[in-house]
Structure 1
Amino acid sequence: MIATLKRIWKQGTPTTTSPHDAELAVTALMVEVMRMDDKLEDAEHQRIISNLQKRFALTPAEITPLIERARRTSARALDMHQFTSVIVKSFTTGERVHILAELWQVAMADGEIDPYEEQLIRRIAELFGLDHRQFIEAKLEAAAS
Structure 2
Amino acid sequence: MLDRLLSFLKDLPGSPSASDTNPLNDPRVAAAALMIHVMDADGVRRTGESTALRHALGETYNISGDGLDALLAAGERADREAVDLYAFTSVLKRHLDEKARVEFIGIMWDVVYADGERHELEDNTVWRVAELIGVDRRDRIEARQRAARNTPDAQGDANDE
Corresponding residue of 1:59:
63
Corresponding residue of 1:23:
28
C-alpha distance in structure 2 between counterparts of 1:142 and 1:59, whole Å: 27
C-alpha distance in structure 2 between counterparts of 1:118 and 1:28, whole Å: 17
Equivalent position to 1:128, from 124, 128, 133:
133
State whether structure 2 residue 83 is matched by structure 1 residue 78: yes
C-alpha distance in structure 1 between counterparts of 2:69 and 2:77, whole Å: 13
Displacement after TM superposition at 1:51 (Å): 4.1
Displacement after TM superposition at 1:127 (Å): 0.3
Displacement after TM superposition at 1:53 (Å): 5.0
Going from structure 1 to structure 2, the CA distance change for 1:138 and 1:110 (only over 3 Å counts) comes to same
Paired residue secondary structure (2:50)? helix
Q: In the TM superposition, what whole-angstrom CA distance separates every residue of 1:14-62 from its partner, at most 9, and x where no partner exists?
A: xxxx6330000000000001111111111111232344356x4443334
- The RMSD of aligned alpha carbons is 1.9
| Bigger helix fraction | 1
Q: Which runs of 5+ in 2 are unaligned?
A: 1-12, 16-25, 152-161
C-alpha distance in structure 2 between counterparts of 1:41 and 1:64, whole Å: 18
Q: Which runs of 5+ in 1 are unaligned?
A: 1-17
Q: Normalising by structure 1, what TM-score?
A: 0.78
Equivalent position to 1:113, from 118, 122, 125:
118
State whether structure 2 residue 92 is matched by structure 1 residue 87: yes
How many residues align structurally? 127
